Chains A and B, each alone.
Chain A
């Protein structure tokens, strides 16, 4: 049963205002990143900031059209849209234009479109449709295999195009699945396994080890209070100190990572005995998980350095973005850190950035656009942008939670997840906390495809949200 309500009044104007604001801030930074003395006119359509104005206007048009369409069609045509996108993903493999060793672009005249960007919302529609089906259950093999099919089909095709970054986005749907009932353990494993895998390969061993152990101690404190924490800490720090002093007097010669690792063995033994005697089952479980994780990261390192052959290592490095640098590993990130770091508290001012404007930073108007924010607006600017993104994502979660239809809620969480992953990876990459994977920063990075894809994603959701009262559940 449906009730007709006024779309205009039910539309969430706050979200739209935030969207407009983000797009506007994004454009200002593109203008600044591309700006030069010769090209100052903001309507210079030969320049990227000029073109971006066109893409923004087109995005506005898309938004209006989406709002005018009936909210019911998305659920109705979810699989159809999905099928069409899969078709496009296949077609681009044959007809696409090869750019930077990846065949992921359609070229129509002077406009280039990337179907992978649009496959995100199509896959999300299909996913929402599947999970919201009454017959769907996370305990049902048939349901799960359908789910897997819907997810892995686009991922496989995008990987074939050679665009690992875009394929990674689909991974984040695990957040959606979790919200809809995926078990805690599955969610924990799904998050921790790849995160640990990637961090182990891109960060220094010891910089991965210390946070993991610290988090374990945090849990000891949360679960059993500070007395137990002190005991655990005392045992571990004590045995570390012994090994450190052995190192100091040159009986052994090891770097910090191996000392910390080695210290874990005797301290674990002691602690396990204590846990057994005092029957601390929770801590025993936590302790086992910690050792499992350490073992996992250790074996990743071991395999990477000792078992993989040179060319296999190289492939992983390329996937993690370690090998893209023209000046050797780490150059791009270093330049990015310099640009952001040199911004200081309040930045060098609009159009005053030197690192970004003089091309020290690679891809300064697309993947590394956040450097311009950092350099010209400083810590105030970067914090503002991140807080704004957080606010935007929380607003979308709020909207998703108020949906009456499961389809709309799933779709809403999908939007949140996709945006979150893009923000996380993109900003993380510019500040050296994530692998260098070329995915755009929503609303900031230059480019029509990504802007339109995010616009479609959000405005379908806003349209669904506007009609939430029509659905009675």
Chain B
């Protein structure tokens, strides 16, 4: 017997032991650790996103507002570029060599396609196309970007931009490089406009060459095109309004009272929406955002809500008095050049005295509405001034003032403005020790009251409708089976009964058409019964703001409008004629010869560059 024969067990044992450790390792590798499966999928599956075309946007008359255009991304797989004639390349693509160097440093050895230049315009592409063959490692990927067919309505339409990382984290629909609506209806109707992305899954080899469709295309998804929108905007009216607002700061909102559809919503100064498309977008954005002191990106119609409404507030004041039963339409109050209580005096201009409600609206009598305000708040049926104040406030708010109208354009909590400031009164006068005289200026739309132009227009629509409004909106129709938000079909009733409106409306009619003593004579339109009310919002920082609200025709109103021009002085001087021009343009379609002088005067007015 071989003396070493026992060693066969050691040798066999060694073999079994070592190979058994392999089985253990394989168990760990193949069964307990799942990360390799994920790595394998990341390795070999390349998901190519199929972008849907974004929905088109039309105006209420079928005019195309937003279309799509082809744009071209210059792509490259960094690892494939071995050499590059930089001089020639820089000339052709209009980039500097530092850009090239930093790009290739960043993506050194990268195996996945990267966007080298994004959103090359059709025109630039035409130049590049013929010479692209000189740089075989680069190729063009087509993409669809927005094309704004109008240079107006920038704030309504908004713009799209690349989705940011916060959004990517919160919404898994989006991934890096996707476009998303950033403002305007591009933002509010993002879900409808964007459609649904599709995808094609390819298997790619280690050199990122596409080999075949994964699983024969079984898991591919078709892209679904975005839905087209029909906006309530009348682009002709919008552009006309913007023209009139040139060189003025302010806003105009025009609403169709019977539907709540916004016909025009103008914020001035504005910008050309096409500035925010394509490669120049971020540069232009910075320019508009930072370097323009007039802040053209700021939507004054909605976001500028600190300004007092001035005398345009008087209709709701009067209506509150009627509803509360503290006055009747024929109640009169005297005015001796203002509202005087003891030592207190709030001035008024010269007019006949005493006046009834209709005449008070026509002449914009301050004393009348101060009386009404005090009667409402000091009404003994409310046990305290605070309770009376709250009752008053609720009436005002029922017109959509001091609350956020849920418009389908981006707005924030700050934009709702304010109707009195109870916290401030508590601080200043002490809780439970308010007197109506403390904030009497609210009666004439001054003091702790701030509204935006949209709210003013909506208030006017509610008056035109004798007591209700529809939430203003810029959507009219969504293509396909989708309907617009139900809330836009629902009548929002004010707290004022229908029968109280007539004297107020009559006053507004007379304010324009009443001849001598009318505050808005410049707004008179031949053949159209325009009802309006001027306002002059006091501005401690400078020249007063010129305000005007109106609707027309008096019977069956088709348009309600609010015009707010910053630092333009009296409401009757600038805001009123501008509103009347827009109403005339909308209802007649043209401005007659005999009013051209007024149009020219408004067009030429410049409150920004010269006083």
For A168-208 the 0/1 string (1 means CB < 8 A from B) is 00000001001111000000000000000000000000000
Interface string of B183-221 (1 = CB under 8 A from A): 000000000000000000001111100011000000000
Taken residue by residue from 406 to 441, chain A's Cβ proximity to chain B (1 for < 8 Å, 0 otherwise) reads as 000000010010001001100110011100000000
What string of 1s and 0s marks CB contacts (under 8 Å) between B3-21 and chain A?
Answer: 1110110111011101111
Binary interface encoding of chain A residues 387-417 relative to chain B, with 1 for a CB under 8 A from any of its CBs, else 0: 1011001100100010000000000010010
Q: Say if the beta carbon of A280 comes within 8 Å of chain B.
A: no
Residues of B contacting A359 in the complex (Cβ-Cβ under 8 angstroms): 205-207
CA distance A360 to B205 in the complex (A): 7
The docked-state distance in angstroms from the alpha carbon of A355 to that of B45 is 10
> Distance (Å) between the CB of B201 and the closest chain A CB?
12
Give 1 or 0 for each of A327-361: 1 = CB within 8 Å of chain B CB. 10000000101111111110000000011001110
Determine if B43 and A355 form an interchain contact, defined as CB atoms under 8 angstroms apart.
yes
A contact residues around B18 at 8 Å (CB): 424
Asked if A383 is at the interface of the complex by the 8 Å CB criterion, the answer is: yes
A386 within 8 A of B: yes
Residues of B within 8 A of A340 (CB): 26, 29-30, 36
- A32 interface residue (CB < 8 Å to B): no
Q: Determine how close the nearest CB of chain A comes to the CB of B106; give it in whole angstroms.
A: 18
How near does chain B come to A41, taking the closest CB pair, in angstroms?
A: 19
Closest to B45 in A: A354
Residues of chain B from 18 to 50 with CB closer than 8 A to chain A in the complex: 18-23, 25-27, 29-31, 33, 35-37, 39-41, 43-45
Docked complex: B309-344 residues within 8 A CB-CB of A = none
Question: With A345-B30, A427-B22 as given contacts, are A397 and B5 in contact (CB-CB < 8 Å)?
Answer: no
Which listed residue, B5, B20, B33, B212, touches A37 by the CB 8 Å rule? B212
> Which of B5, B35, B205 is in CB contact (< 8 Å) with A401?
B5
Across-interface contacts of A416 in B (CB, < 8 A): 11, 15
Judge whether B206 and A360 touch: CB under 8 Å.
yes
Of A66-74, A159-167, A220-228, A374-382, the one with at least 4 CB within 8 A of chain B: A374-382
Number of interface residues of B (CB under 8 A): 41
The one of A175, A354, A423 in contact with B44, judged by C-beta atoms closer than 8 angstroms, is: A354
Query: Contacting A344 at CB < 8 Å: which of B23, B30, B41, B43?
Result: B30
Cβ of B142 to closest chain A Cβ, rounded Å: 27
- With beta carbons under 8 angstroms apart, the residue of A181, A338, A390, A413 that contacts B39 is A338
Please, which residue of chain A has its CB at the minimum distance from the CB of B40?
A342
Chain A minimum-CB-distance residue to B18: A424
Would B25 and A433 count as touching, CB distance under 8 A? yes
Q: Can you name the residue of chain B whose Cβ is closest to the Cβ of A419?
A: B15
A355 contacts which chain B residues (CB < 8 A)? 40, 43-44
Q: CA A340 – CA B28 in complex, angstroms? A: 11
User: How many A-B pairs fall under 8 Å by CB?
Assistant: 119
CB distance from A426 to the nearest CB of B (A): 11
Interchain CA distance A389-B21 in the complex, whole Å: 14
Q: Verify A345–B26 contact, CB threshold 8 A.
A: no
In the bound complex, residues from chain A placing their C-beta under 8 Å from that of B8 are: 179, 397, 401
Cα–Cα distance between A360 and B207 once the two chains are bound (Å):
9
Q: How far is the CB of A385 from chain B (nearest CB, A)?
A: 10
Which of B15, B18, B23, B207 gathers the greatest number of chain A CB atoms within 10 Å? Answer: B15
- Point out the residues of chain B lying under 8 angstroms from A181, CB to CB: 3-4
CB < 8 Å neighbour of B12 from A387, A397, A433: A397
Q: Give Cα A341 to B27, complex, Å.
A: 9
In the assembled complex, which residues on chain B have CB atoms less than 8 Å from the CB atom of A341? 29-30, 33, 35-37, 39-40
Q: Cβ of A179: which chain B residues have Cβ within 8 Å of it?
A: 4, 7-8, 11
Given A178-B7, A355-B43, A358-B206, A337:B29 Cβ within 8 A: yes
Nearest-neighbour CB distance to chain A for B111, whole angstroms, equals 9
- Chain A residue nearest to B12 (CB atoms) is A397
Closest chain A residue to B21 by CB distance? A433
Assess A338 versus B43: contact at CB under 8 Å? Given A374-B30, A427-B22, A433-B25. Answer: yes
Asked if A342 and B37 make an inter-chain contact with CB atoms under 8 angstroms apart, the answer reads yes
B212: min CB distance to chain A, Å: 7
Closest to A342 in B: B40
A307-345 with Cβ < 8 A to chain B: 327, 335, 337-345
Whether the Cβ atoms of B37 and A390 lie closer than 8 Å is: no
Contacts of B33 in A (CB 8 A): 341
B residues less than 8 Å from A175 (CB atoms): 11, 14
Q: Which A positions have Cβ atoms within 8 angstroms of B?
A: 37, 175, 178-181, 327, 335, 337-345, 354-355, 358-360, 374-375, 378-379, 382-383, 386-387, 389-390, 393-394, 397, 401, 413, 416, 420, 423-424, 427-428, 431-433
The 6 tightest CB contacts between A and B, nearest first, are A341-B36, A342-B40, A358-B205, A379-B30, A354-B44, A359-B206
- Apart from A359-B206, A394-B15, what 13 extra A-B contacts exist at CB < 8 Å? A178-B7, A338-B39, A338-B40, A343-B30, A360-B43, A360-B44, A360-B206, A375-B40, A379-B31, A386-B22, A390-B19, A390-B20, A433-B25
CB-defined A-B contacts under 8 Å, sample of 16: A175-B11, A337-B36, A343-B30, A345-B31, A354-B40, A358-B205, A359-B207, A360-B206, A374-B26, A374-B29, A383-B23, A386-B26, A390-B19, A394-B15, A424-B19, A433-B25
